[in-house]
Amino acid sequence: MATQLGWKHHTLIQALLSRGPLKEAEFHAIFAGATGKNPVTHKQVFNDCLLQINKELDYVQFEVRACMNQYDGDIYYGVVNNVSDEQSKLGNHYSVPQIMFYKAIIEAIIQDGTNQGCITSIEALNIHLENQDGQSLQDSQSRIPAAFKNFTISQKEKTLSELIHDRWLSSTSDGKIGLGVRSFLDLRSWFRNNDVFPCHVCNEAAIKQVARVCPGCGTVWHPSDHGEEDGNNSTRAQLQGNEYAGVFVPRKKRTGTPKTEFVSAADAQSRAPSVPVKRNLRSCKAENFDPVDGELSVCSPDPPAVAKRTRRSARM
């Protein structure tokens, strides 16, 4: 690996191994100091550098990986082990009961019905390790390891502190226990194998549900408001779609000067008179439209003559 990677690559690897997972801004600063190039403006150079590092680390089954911490939204970089075997387990300082306790906490966080991505410290301390060894419980209660039975509350508290310090777990602002950044980095394949649904935005395991708040004022959006708003929007969209399609919604009758309004074919048929009006085209040349009643009235050819006779009788 020494012949393929230079001191700049070694600097990045050593920084991740000694400091642990680093935020994107910190890792970019180290890359800029080592190479003299800004990774934001030289993305291709940055990606090629990481690709070259991973090609060499693949020989020892390690990888430089990036992930999003779902509790603070920041991107982290770290070196992870791609293979989980007995030899890799020798590298950590945790005992078997502590590892089982950590696994039980992860399962409790994932199975939490509130989808908040965390559990209380009381819930974590009340986890029973004997329930995690399903094979022993099925065989006999007497075959439960003694280390599981003797794992006391004080040992659980100490293990919690160590897991939080090593960033396998995290302590939220309200004092609850959540996943740490190292869990997001190392357990990607474990989440996939256990059918944890991925996020469609960051492609990571969906552990924590995003709060429904307004980005401007921070007001919480309730599901009922969404339903009403969606219903109103669908109604408006339907009405607008009808207008664009040439079907205009009938409006209420207004007094005063009538305006031309379009009605649907069904409404026009319903408003038509039940008895058809017989029109005499020879005797009537014009038809009057009554704006109040909205009905057609047939003119008679005799009213002008009647009006003249009335005026003559009045003069006499």
- The verdict on residue 179 lying in a domain is yes
Name the band, by pLDDT with cuts 50, 70 and 90, for residue 14.
Answer: very high
CA 197/CA 192 separation, integer angstroms: 8
- The verdict on residue 247 lying in a domain is no
Q: Among 93-102, 194-203, 266-275, where is mean pLDDT lowest?
A: 266-275
What tokens does 188 get? Answer: 């990607």
Residues 32 and 62 in one domain: yes
Q: Write down the pLDDT at residue 57.
A: 92
pTM over 0.85: no
Residues 184 and 127 in one domain: yes
- The verdict on residue 204 lying in a domain is no
Residues 103 and 184 in one domain: yes
Provide the CATH number for the domain around residue 164: 1.10.10.10
Locus of tokens 């989440």 = 191
- The verdict on residue 230 lying in a domain is no
Residue bearing the bigger pLDDT, 56 or 292: 56
Q: Write down the pLDDT at residue 175.
A: 84
Residues 95 and 173 in one domain: yes
Residue bearing the bigger pLDDT, 101 or 283: 101
Task: Read off the pLDDT of residues 138-182 as tens digits, 9 standing for 90 and up.
Answer: 554 556 666 677 788 999 999 999 999 999 999 988 889 999 999
Name the band, by pLDDT with cuts 50, 70 and 90, for residue 307.
Answer: very low
Residues 11 and 54 in one domain: yes
Question: What total number of domains does the chain contain?
Answer: 3
Q: In terms of residue numbers, what domain contains 107? A: 88-193
What tokens does 296 get? Answer: 């057609």
In the predicted structure, residue 236 carries a pLDDT above the cut 50: no
Ordered alpha helix ranges (H), the chain? 7-19, 24-35, 43-57, 86-89, 96-110, 121-125, 134-139, 146-149, 153-165, 181-186, 188-193, 223-244, 265-271, 303-315
Residues 138 and 112 in one domain: yes
Task: Read off the pLDDT of residues 253-297 as tens digits, 9 standing for 90 and up.
Answer: 444 444 444 444 445 444 545 444 444 444 444 444 444 444 444
At residue 62, what are phi and psi to the nearest 5 degrees?
Answer: -120, 165
Output the average pLDDT for the chain. Answer: 71
CA 295/CA 196 separation, integer angstroms: 68
Residues 44 and 63 in one domain: yes
In the predicted structure, residue 90 carries a pLDDT above the cut 70: no
In the predicted structure, residue 77 carries a pLDDT above the cut 90: yes
DSSP 275-308: SPPPP-TTT---EEE-TTT--EEE--SSHHHHHH
